[in-house]
Amino acid sequence: MRRIHAILGLLAPFGLFAQPALTHFGNMQLHQGAEVGIYGNLINLAPFDQNIGLLGFYGEVPQRVQGTVAPVFFDVELATRFEVTLEIPLWVSNNLNFIDGNFYTDRALADRYVGLLQNAFAVGASDFSKVDGFVEVVQQNNVVFPVGDESQLRPLTFQGGEASPLLRCAYFRDDPTASAVYGTLNPALKPREIETIGIFEFWRLEGAVSGTVTLSWNSRSGMANIAPALEQVELVGWHKASGRWLRLGTPTRGGDLTDGFAMSAAFVPDEYEVLTFAGGGIAEEVFDLPNYYLSPNGDGLNDFLVIEELLESPNNELRIYDRRGLLVFEAANYQNTFGGVSNTDNLVIDRQAGLPEGIYFYVVRLLDLGTEYQGFLYLNR
């Protein structure tokens, strides 16, 4: 397999893309330690699913995955200047590593997607590398879908009480009330408590098992045009059976109108056509505490998150979320013990090494006082 890697690598510098494809007719397998680099197209015409090694997409030209049989690879690495267009599904059984470039699937075609099997996970997704189209996941309950459009990562986090046989998700930079794929979903058909349905973006999520969804927004989302205040941001979906927009429940919000996230109550994705943001709900009593700086390096300064206001309410709850809205830490009756390490059952990689540097959101409930606070936390490594 390493020999194949070397041969394919030599094709690119000499411009030998008149026949820009590796065609698999059968009888090929990537064994443990094998590394195969694809610099052109991949055409798969036979079962290609007993693989253990690494398949990477590299190069300086757009690429395609074509054929009649969906391949299944153990590890897949994406590091190309352009996009890899999938004309058949591509499955990963272990690690999908995003470095540069996008996988692209036609959102109007249900049989084109990046698939993650039961034990598979994705790492490294960013604005520069992600899935511009559909991702399908099998037998998982906590998933961060690495989806977006051509220029931005816009992930959706799904957390279910049990493993879902199938979950499928894509992001659309389009008006959810009148999209090219799902047609007109009348914004006037909504609860009275909702004033505005967002028109800038939406997500499509498919799945038969109930769970919660976390969606984030940024400066491109136009949230200030949707909701007048953070406390009035709502998650909504077009309910198929009733033919109208319904609230999904929004028990948790964080951030501000420029950069933040919201988490839904539990619902069944298959009951809804699309999901998006809305505004106009009744404002809740939420206040701000200071923003905190945390540098857990053992020097005795800012090693732990210390919230002095909790002395006023020993009965409290603290939750910390990353910028995608993924819960990374939670505690009842918090005792100033958070030092940058996650304690939740989520998709944090290399948990003992600590959470990565960056901005996090926190929400703290003072149950004795009946109030809730929120703010930002910067973790410095």
More confident residue, 284 or 275: 275
Q: How far apart are CA 368 and CA 281, in angstroms?
A: 26
Residues 220, 296, single domain; the answer is no
Q: Which of 92-96, 116-120, 366-370 is least confident?
A: 366-370
Query: Could you tell me the end-to-end alpha-carbon distance of the chain, in angstroms, rounded to an integer?
Result: 39
Listed residues 284, 302, 330: the one ending a domain: 284
Q: H or E segment at 229?
A: none
Residues 123, 6, single domain; the answer is yes
Is the model's pLDDT at 77 over the cut of 90? yes
Is the model's pLDDT at 310 over the cut of 90? no
> Would residue 143 count as lying in a domain?
no
Closest CA to 144 of 107, 103, 173, 116: 116
> Would residue 320 count as lying in a domain?
yes
Average pLDDT of the chain?
89
- Supply the pLDDT for residue 379: 95
Residues 99, 184, single domain; the answer is no
Residues 1, 134, single domain; the answer is yes
Burial 240-268 (b: 16+ CB within 10 A, else e): eeeeebbbbebebbbbbbebbbbbbeebe
- Supply the pLDDT for residue 20: 73
- Supply the pLDDT for residue 340: 93
- Distance, CA of 152 to chain centre: 12
HEC assignment per residue over 85-138:
EECCCEEEEEEEEEEECCEECCCCCCCCCEEECCCCEEECCECCECEECCEEEC
Q: Which of 65-69, 120-124, 147-151, 362-366 is least confident?
A: 362-366
Residues 295, 277, single domain; the answer is no
Query: Could you tell me the pLDDT band of residue 146, with boundaries at 50, 70 and 90?
Result: very high
How do residues 256-283 score in pLDDT, each as one tens digit?
999 999 999 999 999 999 999 999 865 5
Q: How far apart are CA 320 and CA 322, in angstroms?
A: 7
Count CA within 13 A, CB hemisphere, residue 138.
12
Q: Which of 176-180, 213-217, 241-245, 307-311 is least confident?
A: 307-311
Residue 293 maps to which CATH number? 2.60.40
Query: Could you tell me the pLDDT band of residue 289, with boundaries at 50, 70 and 90?
Result: confident
Closest CA to 206 of 123, 153, 267: 267
Pairing between β-strand 260-263 and β-strand 316-321 as defined by DSSP bridges? unpaired
Q: H or E segment at 7?
A: helix 2-11
Tokens 């984030």 appear where? Answer: 216
Residues 1, 122, single domain; the answer is yes
Residues 92, 207, single domain; the answer is no
- Supply the pLDDT for residue 373: 85
Q: How far apart are CA 277 and CA 96, in angstroms?
A: 29
Listed residues 226, 255, 284: the one ending a domain: 284
What Cα–Cα distance (Å) separates residue 125 from each residue in 99, 134, 181? 7, 14, 25
Q: How far apart are CA 243 and CA 161, in angstroms?
A: 27
Is the model's pLDDT at 10 over the cut of 80? no
Over residues 332-336, the mean pLDDT reads 94
Is the model's pLDDT at 369 over the cut of 80? no
* Domain hosting residue 56, numbered range: 1-138
**pTM, rounded to two decimals:** 0.80
